[in-house]
Amino acid sequence: MIRMDKGSQITLAAVLLLLLTIIFCTAYSLGLNQELVQKDSRIDELTNSNIELQNQLGSQQEPYLVTSLGVSVEPRNITYPHPHFTVEGVGFNVGSRTAYNARLDIVAYYKNGLSAFNMSLPLGNLGRWQVAQVGKIMGTSDWIGNYTITPVWADIP
């Protein structure tokens, strides 16, 4: 057995206490560092979420045209059995700003695939939640087989 004097024992105890303190502080520091990394990650998530929400808010402040339309290319009744294209309904601006020069661009093709017409129905300038009525009946030389209706607008006059 090794015998140590009281001074050596105190020195050894101090060194052991210092080593234990260093180990504890290192472990505590690693835990704090891990927590810091997690909080930084959470900050990044919240920052990205904030950017996404700001982008959504920006897009909601822009004009945005929505339609509710009925289209008919079949005979309406026995008194109107001729080929035609009918579009009826509404277009309205669900954005916060005015939709300038709003219109419906309509492209239609006959059943044989040939182009029937390419036209625009003007809706005018539509303020926030403003509604425009749509109603157009066009006689055609043959039955319409396919069509597209695209709402178009500008966000500046």
Looking at the fold, whether 76 and 145 belong to one and the same domain comes out as yes
Task: Work out the average pLDDT over 98-110.
Answer: 96
At 23, list the tokens.
């180990």
Residue 107 has pLDDT above 70, yes or no: yes
Q: List CB contacts of 82: < 8 A, sequence separation 6 or more.
A: 75, 139
Looking at the fold, whether 131 and 71 belong to one and the same domain comes out as yes
Weakest-pLDDT range from 38-52, 75-89, 123-137: 75-89
pLDDT of residue 53: 84
Domain C-terminal end among 28, 61, 94: 61
At 140, list the tokens.
């055609």
pLDDT of residue 59: 62
Looking at the fold, whether 89 and 147 belong to one and the same domain comes out as yes
Q: pLDDT digits over 118-151, tens only?
A: 999 999 999 999 999 999 988 898 889 999 999 9
Domain C-terminal end among 10, 31, 61: 61
Looking at the fold, whether 73 and 149 belong to one and the same domain comes out as yes
Task: Work out the average pLDDT over 56-62.
Answer: 71
Domain C-terminal end among 11, 32, 61: 61
11 three-class SS: helix
Residue among 129, 137, 132, 80 at smallest CA distance from 101: 132
Looking at the fold, whether 15 and 44 belong to one and the same domain comes out as yes
Confidence of residue 77 (pLDDT cuts 50, 70, 90): low
DSSP conformational letter for 128:
T
Looking at the fold, whether 85 and 118 belong to one and the same domain comes out as yes
Percent with pLDDT over 70 in the chain? 94
Looking at the fold, whether 86 and 105 belong to one and the same domain comes out as yes
The residue range of the domain holding 26 is 1-61
pLDDT of residue 81: 72
Looking at the fold, whether 80 and 55 belong to one and the same domain comes out as no
Looking at the fold, whether 135 and 95 belong to one and the same domain comes out as yes
Looking at the fold, whether 138 and 74 belong to one and the same domain comes out as yes
pTM for the full model? 0.62
Please state the domain count of the chain.
2
Looking at the fold, whether 77 and 138 belong to one and the same domain comes out as yes
pLDDT of residue 10: 87
Looking at the fold, whether 84 and 133 belong to one and the same domain comes out as yes
